[in-house]
Amino acid sequence: MPEKPFRLEERLTAWHIGIAVGSLFLGSWFGPLQVLEHAGFDFYSKLAPGIKSYYQGLSLHGVLNALVWTTFFITGFLTFATVHSLKTKLRYRWVNILGLILMVAGLIMAAVPLLLNEATVLFTFYPPLKANPFFYIGLTLVVVGSWVEGFGLYFTLGAWRKAHPSARTPFIAFGSVLTMVMWQIASLGIAAEMLFLLIPWSLGLTAGTDPLLARTLFWFTGHPIVYFWLLPAYISWYGMLPAQAGGKVFSDPLARLAFWLFLVLSIPVGFHHQFTDPGIATGWKAFHTILTYGVTFPSLLTAFTVIASLELGGRARGGKGLFGWIRKLPWGDPSFSAQAFAIIVFAFGGIGGLINASYNMNLVVHNTLWIVGHFHLTLATTVTLSFIGITYWLIPRLTGRELWSTRAANVQVWLWLVAMVPFSASHHMLGIRFGVPRRTMLGAAPYLSPEWNPMLLLAAAGGILLWASVILYVVIVLGTVFASRKVAQPVEMPVAEALRDSQETPAWLDAWKPWLFVTIVLIFLSYGMPLVDLIRNAHLSSPGFSVW
Ligand code: HAS
Ligand code: CU
């Protein structure tokens, strides 16, 4: 077999994906335990004997599934996507290797206190809940590692642009680098929270902390982090999926415009997580609400452009009539169907998001199981099922082997979709109808009502099926890596052509400075005054609590 040109880059990617899948596997064990606990069946002592409480399990579930699975998958996938899209090796490979080492070191550092019940603070680690300093330092290292990997991609794109001064950046590389830039700006909030508040506090260097300031810095990052998760899926939907469906990108300029809008609008919206926090003036919350409705616009553009691109594919495959093209899409290809299901589910997850974002409707759903329903549609399906779909071509590519079983992969993808319907519907209903709280060990709650039981049982059934789908996924990954046939010609990364030559895309859609300028200005407008106010009035007075 000829020497592969990107061997080192692919090995780096493989490490990232391996760690990501491993954490999804471990984190998912707690899912069924949680829904069963809610439905009145407490299996923690039998099935997770080392775990001290529901809350320790929930912290592991959130950190491993929401933070580790995503961040490792994304940094690995974007590295692969950038080098293959630009057809060039990483400019400085040591930078990306260093980034991965930092991320792994951080992961280990954070995992130890989590496992020792020293960081039972849930994945949002809101103070005054207090964790062991290694938890905060570890998570900070993971973020810093991801920044370093981001720089590795900028150097690579920079070198490419120098060598191709008048060419448009290929869309996939453009989207990958933009995702990293957005993430680096966005994660400054969490970096500040860690460095100035949580780490000194947990080390005993300050007597207390300021929960409101900490939460505000957290959500500066916490909202855009959901687009850090979503944009890699969008890169695939726009730049790869049309090729898998036999179609073309309906509009390269619209695709780029959506990404620029995400850069500009992802960050200045964090107060929609803090509507009920006292201490932030109503006017600022209203301003963030308006901008939140702004950031739904690029997703609506995406719905239009991606579906139009898939329609081109369905018609090229012989589909006729208004909807006949849908049947002609390659539904038997699990990589395609996983992502198509992810898109369909996002219609519902996104509508839920619009409800959350409404300043007054949020009061009905905030802190209820409705939100859990929302983020299992968005994060745990739209994003996760897209990533799973991507691995169904990426892992065969990385290993030079066939997918272990296409049929098993199809079952896995369908099982996820079918399980998510009762899971998310029941969570939404429990939240909006009965006001059932989230982040709560319901089995021990004195206010538990028999009215909730049917929905709680439905949620438990969905949760168990979802867990089965994760286990099947891991079996398929392991089967592909260790037990599948080698192929002579490994699959290529799918790259969709645009309907019109992307070189004709206007230059302003490939120019960084104006967009970065607007991004920074909008951050100052939306966060400048409230943050100055909170910092001026900061009281490092709250002691830490270790409740469980
Ligand atoms: Fe959210 C809370 C608002 C999107 C994740 N969100 C959360 C939390 C998470 C999360 C994890 O305003 C909980 C955090 C915590 O622990 O407290 N969210 C939104 C809005 C959007 C949104 C406005 N969220 C996401 C995405 C996530 C995610 C994406 C993860 C990846 N969210 C909120 C708010 C809260 C919140 C409040 C705080 C709630 C509270 O009170 O605590 C928007 O970005 C959504 C825009 C999307 C659309 C849909 C576009 C549709 C598409 C497909 C159409 C498909 C069709 C079918 C028509 C408007 C692209 C196609 C057919 C075929 C054949 C293919
Ligand atoms: Cu948000």
CATH number of 7-442+462-536: 1.20.210.10
State the pLDDT at residue 1: 42
Give residue-wise pLDDT tens across range 338-389.
999 999 999 999 999 999 999 999 999 999 999 999 999 999 999 999 999 9
pLDDT, one tens digit per residue, over 317-326 is 999 999 999 9
Residues near ion ligand 2 (CB < 5 Å) are 223
C-alpha radius of gyration, the chain, whole number: 23
Tracing tokens 């493989």 back to the chain, one arrives at 14
Q: Among the atoms of ligand 1, which is closest to the Cα of residue 269? A: 12
Q: Which residues are catalytic?
A: 223, 227, 374-376, 438-439
Sign of CA dihedral 252, 255, 259, 262: positive
Query: Is 3's pLDDT higher than 70?
Result: no
517: number of CA atoms within 13 Å, CB side? 4
Can you state the percent helix, strand and coil of the chain, rounding each to 5? 75, 0, 25
DSSP 3-state assignment of 542? strand
Q: Are 72 and 19 in contact (CB under 8 A)?
A: yes
503, with CB counted inside 10 A (0-12, 13-18, 19+), is: exposed
d(CA 32, CA 370): 18
C-alpha 237 to ligand 1 mean position (Å)? 17
- Cβ-based neighbours of 401, under 8 Å, separated by 6 or more: 480, 481, 484, 485, 486, 487
Residue positions counted in the chain = 548
**Cis amide leading into 128 (omega within 30):** yes
d(CA 469, CA 456): 20
Q: Residue by residue, what is the 3-state secondary structure of 94-162?
A: HHHHHHHHHHHHHHHHHHHHHHCCCCCCCCCCCCCECCCHHHHHHHHHHHHHHHHHHHHHHHHHHHHHH
Q: How far is the CA of 347 from the centre of ligand 2 (A)?
A: 16
> pLDDT digits over 126-175, tens only?
999 999 999 999 999 999 999 999 999 999 999 999 999 989 999 999 99
CA dist 12 and 264 (Å) reads 30
pTM above threshold 0.85: yes
Query: From the alpha carbon of 275, which atom of ligand 1 is closest?
Result: 41
Helix (H, G, I), strand (E, B) or coil at 249: strand
For 18, residues 6+ apart whose C-beta sits below 8 A from its C-beta are: none
